[in-house]
C-alpha cells in the first residue's frame, strides 16, 4: 500500500509531532544548521489535533515548538492556495512574537521566532528558487539588521523539480519525500536513505500511519473537508454565472450564451481540476469530481505546468 501524501497538513502534523526527532532533522536541513548550531531537541507546544476541526477548511493544522534555548518555531504544511498568504505568514509570526511577553516582562527576554512555510503552491513572483528566506534588513545597507528575531522561510514544492539522481543536500531529500510520498518506490527509498539516514525512520513511521485505520479515517475526513470547501467555492461561482446567463437571455443573446455556456462549462471543469491538482488531490479523485476522463487529465497535467496556470490563463485545449 502506498504512503498517504505528506502534503496533507493532517498527515504532516501527525508524523512530525509524534516524532520530534524527525522535526529536528527537517528544521536543521531548512535552516542549514550544522555543528554546534544544530538543534538537539524540540518541545512540541501543540501536539493535539481536534477531530472536529478536520472537516473545517479554515482551520490551521500547524506545529508550534520551542528549542532548548527558548527560540520558537512555527511550521506549516499548506496544500490549499490562499490569497495574501505572505501577509498571513507575517501575521502568524507576529502573534507568536507578541505572545512571549507577559505584563512586566522585559523586551530583552524576547526570543527569536522562526516561521517555516512549506507550500504546495507558489506565492513568490520570482521563479529562480524554491526556498526563500526573509529577514528584517536595512533598505540601503542589507548588512544591517533591525533584529535577528525575524526569520520567515517560504518553501514552494511546485518549484522543487530535482530528480532523485541529482539530489545532494538533506533538505532536498526531505522535499523529495514530502512532494512524492505517494509515489515512492522501494528503490527510491533505499537511495534516499543512503543520502539521508534518518529517512529510514521516517519511512517506517509513514508506513505505520498509512496502514493505521484510525489515521486513514481522520486523513480522509480532512481531505473531504478540503473537497467540500472547493466545491462550495465552485458552486458560488456557477450561481453567479447562471445569473449572468439569465440576464443575457433577456437581452436576446440566447445563441451566444449557449456557445459561451459550453465553453464556460469546459473551462470551469478544467479550472476545478487544476485547483484540485494544486491542492494535492489524486487524478482519479479529480476525474470523478469534474467528470473528465482520467487518461485525458493525465495527458493534460503532463503537458501543462500546473503552477503557472491562473484563473485568467489560457485554458483552451
Tell me: the pLDDT tens digits for 93-122? 999 999 999 988 999 999 999 999 999 999
Domain boundary among 211, 233, 265: 211
Domain boundary among 142, 177, 211: 211
Q: Are residues 258 and 303 in the same domain?
A: yes
The residue written with cell numbers 526563500 in the block is: 132
pLDDT digit string (tens) for 280-315? Answer: 677 877 887 778 888 888 888 877 655 444 444 444
In a domain, 1, yes or no: no
pLDDT digit string (tens) for 167-204? Answer: 999 999 999 999 999 999 999 999 999 999 999 999 99
Share of the chain above pLDDT 70, in %: 81
6 near 173, Cβ under 8 Å? no
Question: How many distinct structural domains can be found in the chain?
Answer: 2
Q: Are residues 130 and 43 in the same domain?
A: yes
pTM to 2 decimal places: 0.74
First-residue to last-residue Cα distance in the chain? 35
- How far apart are alpha carbons 205 and 210 in whole angstroms? 9
Q: Are residues 164 and 28 in the same domain?
A: yes
Q: Are residues 41 and 180 in the same domain?
A: yes
Q: Are residues 88 and 130 in the same domain?
A: yes
For residue 285, what are the domain limits?
Answer: 217-308
Domain boundary among 189, 211, 233: 211
In a domain, 20, yes or no: yes
Q: Are residues 284 and 238 in the same domain?
A: yes
Q: Are residues 250 and 298 in the same domain?
A: yes
Q: Are residues 185 and 251 in the same domain?
A: no
pLDDT digit string (tens) for 143-168? Answer: 999 999 999 999 999 999 999 999 99
- How far apart are alpha carbons 27 and 22 in whole angstroms? 9
Q: Are residues 144 and 230 in the same domain?
A: no
Cell output for 90: 507575517
In a domain, 315, yes or no: no
Amino acid at each position: 500500500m502506498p504512503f498517504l501524501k505528506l502534503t496533507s497538513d493532517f498527515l504532516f502534523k501527525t508524523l512530525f509531532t509524534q516524532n520530534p526527532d524527525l522535526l529536528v532533522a527537517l528544521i536543521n536541513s531548512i535552516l542549514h544548521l550544522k555543528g554546534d548550531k544544530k538543534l538537539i531537541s524540540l518541545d512540541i507546544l501543540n501536539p493535539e489535533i481536534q477531530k472536529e476541526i478536520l472537516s473545517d477548511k479554515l482551520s490551521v493544522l500547524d506545529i508550534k515548538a520551542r528549542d532548548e534555548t527558548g527560540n520558537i518555531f512555527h511550521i506549516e504544511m499548506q496544500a490549499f492556495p490562499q490569497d495574501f498568504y505572505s501577509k498571513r505568514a507575517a501575521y502568524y509570526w507576529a502573534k507568536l512574537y507578541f505572545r512571549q511577553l507577559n505584563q512586566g516582562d522585559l523586551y530583552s527576554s524576547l526570543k527569536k521566532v522562526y516561521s517555516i512555510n512549506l507550500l504546495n503552491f507558489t506565492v513568490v513572483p520570482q521563479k529562480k528558487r524554491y526556498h526563500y528566506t526573509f529577514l528584517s534588513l536595512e533598505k540601503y545597507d542589507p548588512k544591517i539588521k533591525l533584529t535577528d528575531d525575524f526569520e520567515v522561510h517560504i518553501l514552494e514544492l511546485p518549484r522543487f523539480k530535482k530528480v532523485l539522481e541529482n539530489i545532494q543536500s538533506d533538505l532536498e531529500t526531505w522535499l523529495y519525500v514530502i512532494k512524492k510520498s505517494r509515489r515512492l518506490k522501494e528503490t527510491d527509498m533505499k537511495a534516499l536513505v543512503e543520502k539521508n539516514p534518518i529517512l529510514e525512520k521516517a519511512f517506517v513511521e509513514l508506513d505505520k500511519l498509512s496502514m493505521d485505520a484510525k489515521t486513514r479515517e481522520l486523513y480522509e475526513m480532512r481531505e473531504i473537508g478540503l473537497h467540500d470547501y472547493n466545491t462550495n467555492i465552485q458552486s458560488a461561482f456557477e450561481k453567479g454565472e447562471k445569473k449572468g446567463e439569465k440576464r443575457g437571455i433577456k437581452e436576446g443573446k440566447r445563441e451566444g450564451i449557449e456557445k459561451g455556456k459550453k465553453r464556460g462549462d469546459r473551462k470551469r471543469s478544467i479550472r476545478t481540476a487544476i485547483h484540485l491538482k494544486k491542492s494535492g488531490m489524486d487524478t482519479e479523485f479529480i476525474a470523478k469530481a469534474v467528470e473528465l476522463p482520467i487518461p485525458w487529465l493525465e495527458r493534460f497535467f503532463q503537458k501543462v505546468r500546473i503552477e503557472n496556470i491562473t484563473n485568467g490563463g489560457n485554458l483552451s485545449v
